[in-house]
Chain A
């Protein structure tokens, strides 16, 4: 499969009459977004679109998903196949990407949902999305709309918004092109017979409402671990339905730009032979966990992997899946590296993971979710101001009325402890 991503570098976003890119500025036709979405879904009672730029004292809360606006100009599988468009395999063709812009959907389906993006100050350091130019879309639904339907509606609308805005990339000037090309197992082996074969085991939270992921629109809990070509994930095959774990949920944007996939791709043909991405659901039942972790380990063995990188989504019971897969592959002689966040308490003294295995000798820690940061008062809040009160670390009198400063745990910050290693947090022992 060969995928070309044409990057259209966006340096600023503004509202405008027409959806287009001119001299690095993305002009957004607000009405087009609002009218199109409301036409497509009669359940939407209202939409608000706002812009948030890096450095502005804007707080976006609570965030549901982040999506990269793109448009496929050549090849099959345009849009989000199986979700917004008819199912077709993606991963091939030419896609124009509004590089640096992001659609951010906000609003909560249940009261305790959290997820903040601060565009300035201390909070901004801890989220990758303080550096993107954010088009914030707030979608209203009727009173009494069930959370289940609400989630699906906003999920879909966010993806559609990214497509509507993405159209601006169609005629835009391309700044650079990234080529992603990997053939089938035999072709690649023939080219690089001596390079170690690597599989990326990507665990997805698959435990029910607000805790799901989708591959071609199929909810991840319905799947056995499934091997994807890396291009598929880079080309909209995987989307997020995870609305609860702000710090380590893999947003759709992060699937589209999966950092493990990108970093492995960098080395493909040079130091490694990247076989593919094994999407592995994290199930709730114990029987389900044994099944998926066993199968994932077996798949790595069956495909002849020499090494695997295993990433997690969430914290708590998925820690068991993480170490079980590691044990399974290590016992077969395959070297594994795990990427996970930890929950070591406010003082960093608690046991970091809920499960352990002596085989897990190589672990990357993406941060302590309980680490407390202090953030300043925002000038503008996009979303629900009262959501701040329910934020992790945002209670127990941590809000200073006078200065407006607030304490919050990394837990509440979007992408702060990303377990696909998307961000730069880590942990040191003192």
Chain B
């Protein structure tokens, strides 16, 4: 079984954060963490090469990176791809997601990966790869690699993996099979358990509902101050505050009192959509121009002085909640009546 291993700049032993911009490269041997993995395959396969790529480069240059991966695929035809573990590193997790989606989604190559359950890259990666749960830091590398190797050996043997037995994040595949008891009997048994207050497991979980109570409606819009907030990654030219293009670690605010539109002074750094139209006219994503027009027409009282921005793609739920609270508190303190939040 030919294995190709994907690592970021750090685990690929190139450098730290300062090297996150490096282009992807391919080495004809296992490097860094790939070596540890390679040593545990027990003859069932071997790592024939390692792809190393900077986390920022991957997230900001999708097209070029995909072209690179395609070349690697064509030339080396791997039987298995391993990516990570990314622990809680958001951009690395997003890169693993991209690798998994490419090799498994496009070419049906099985992929193994690993990350911490809160890594924003998990949602996509798990659909295409068998993702092993890890701790949130590299301290858990020693536990992760043996699990990677175990899954790899089973795949080499042609075994079907089961999330409950092999301990990886369920992929969301609902597979049908014939079981011993008929549905009505299972239903009656489940009802008895519920009536007795016993634990039971539903066969069809409902999606998780995250309810937010809306605030009361604004009584007089013509007197209201409305703020514009976006997760579309719209920032001033040059991105002075270095808002990340994915897996945002911060939000930023900019004074918009002197302008009637974002226009040429702004652009997008968001790594999750085709930037052409947003770069042409960023108000398409964050419609400051329209808000200013409504202010002039007297439909709203005033556009709030500051425009708030961050990047939504790959941003962790925890960060998102924190940003929301922080921005919300500022707006509240400033006496803003309502906010328009645009997302992509």
Decide: A307 and B195 in contact? CB cutoff 8 A.
Answer: yes
> Complex: how many Å from CA A177 to CA B205?
40
In the complex, whether A387 has a CB less than 8 A from a CB of chain B is: no
Q: Nearest B residue to A326 by beta-carbon distance?
A: B206
A276 within 8 A of B: no
Partner of A421 from the list B185, B194, B206 (CB cut-off 8 Å) is: B185
- The CA-CA distance from A259 to B185 in the complex, in Å, is 8
Interface centre among A266, A367, A423 (most CB of B within 10 A): A367
In the complex, whether A125 has a CB less than 8 A from a CB of chain B is: yes
**Does B163 lie at the interface of the complex (its beta carbon under 8 Å from any beta carbon of A)?**
yes
Contact of B174 among A418, A419, A424, A428 (CB under 8 A): A428
Q: Of all chain A residues, which has the CB nearest B179?
A: A426
B341 nearest CB across to chain A (Å): 24
Number of residue pairs spanning A and B whose beta carbons lie under 8 angstroms apart: 153
Which residues of chain B have C-beta atoms less than 8 A from A262's C-beta?
184
Q: Which residues of A contact B209 (CB under 8 A)?
A: 358
Chain A minimum-CB-distance residue to B192? A271
Is B176 part of the contact surface with A, judged by Cβ < 8 Å?
yes
Check if A259 sits within 8 Å of B194, measured CB to CB.
no
Q: Is A339 an interface residue, CB under 8 A from the partner?
A: yes
Query: B188: CB under 8 A from chain A?
Result: yes
Interface residues of A in 321-364 (CB under 8 A from B): 335-340, 342, 344, 347-349, 351-353, 356-358, 360-364
B62 is an interface residue with CB less than 8 A from chain A:
no
- Of B8-16, B45-53, B165-173, B230-238, the segment with at least 4 beta carbons within 8 Å of chain A is B165-173
In the bound complex, do residue A349 and residue B173 qualify as a contact, i.e. CB atoms below 8 Å apart?
Answer: yes
A366: interface (CB < 8 Å): yes
Mask: chain B, 193-218; 1 = CB below 8 Å from A; 0 = not: 01100001011111101000000000
Inter-chain contact A424/B179, CB cutoff 8 Å: yes
Q: B182 to chain A: which residues have CB within 8 Å?
A: 259, 421-424
How many Å lie between the Cα of A425 and that of B180 in the bound state?
Answer: 9
Contacting pair B191 A309 (CB below 8 A): yes
| CB pair B175 A307 closer than 8 Å | no
Closest to A347 in B: B173
**How far is A309 from B184 in the complex, measured between Cα atoms in Å?**
9
Question: Which residues of chain B are near A337, meaning CB under 8 Å?
Answer: 187-188, 190-191, 194
Q: Does A198 make an interface contact (CB < 8 A)?
A: yes
Across the interface, do A340 and B204 meet the contact criterion of CB distance under 8 Å?
yes
CB–CB A423/B183 < 8 A: yes
Q: A340-B204, A356-B206, A430-B162 are in contact. Are A424 and B180 (CB under 8 A)?
A: yes
For the complex, what is the distance from the CA of A272 to the CA of B200, rounded to whole Å?
18
Contacts of B173 in A (CB 8 A): 347-349, 429-430
Does the CB pair B191–A339 fall under 8 Å?
no
| A259:B176 contact, CB within 8 angstroms | no
A125 touches B178 (CB 8 A): yes
CB distance from B165 to the nearest CB of A (A): 11
Q: With contacts A353-B204, A425-B177 known, is A264 near B170, CB below 8 A?
A: no
Most B Cβ at <10 Å: residue of A125, A366, A422: A366
Name the one of B163, B172, B176 contacting A410, with C-beta atoms under 8 angstroms. B176
Chain A, Cβ-Cβ closest to B168: A430
| A182 CB → nearest B CB, Å | 16
Contacts of B180 in A (CB 8 A): 424
Let me know if B195 and A364 touch, CB within 8 A: no
B184 near A260 with CB under 8 A, answer yes
A6 CA / B202 CA spacing, docked (Å): 37
User: In angstroms, how far is the closest chain B Cβ from the Cβ of A207?
Assistant: 23
With A263-B188, A358-B209 in contact, is A424–B195 under 8 Å at CB? no
Contact in complex: B181, A428 (CB < 8 Å): no
Nearest-Cβ distance from residue B104 to partner chain A, whole angstroms: 12
Docked pose: A415 CA to B173 CA in angstroms: 23
Contact A198 to B174, CB < 8 A, known contacts A259-B184, A358-B206, A422-B184: no
**Residue A110 lies at the interface, judged by CB distance under 8 Å to chain B:** no
Type the 1/0 row for A396-430, where 1 means its CB is closer than 8 Å to any CB of B: 00000000000000100000001111111111111
Contacting residues, chain A, for B192 (C-beta < 8 A):
267, 271-272
Give Cα A338–Cα B176 distance, bound, in whole angstroms.
Answer: 18
Please encode chain A, from 3 to 20, with 1 for each CB lying within 8 Å of some chain B CB and 0 for all others: 000000000000000000
Instruction: Select the residue from B162, B176, B207 with max chain A CB neighbours within 10 A.
Output: B176
Q: Which of A126, A344, A364 contacts B187 (CB 8 A)?
A: A364
Known: A339-B184, A367-B176, A426-B179. 6 other contacts (CB 8 A): A368-B176, A420-B184, A421-B182, A424-B182, A425-B176, A430-B173
Which B residues form the contact surface with A (CB < 8 A)? Answer: 127, 161-163, 170-188, 190-192, 194-195, 200, 202-207, 209
List 9 A-B pairs, minimum CB-CB distance, nearest first. A421-B183, A421-B184, A259-B184, A363-B204, A348-B174, A371-B176, A365-B203, A335-B194, A348-B173
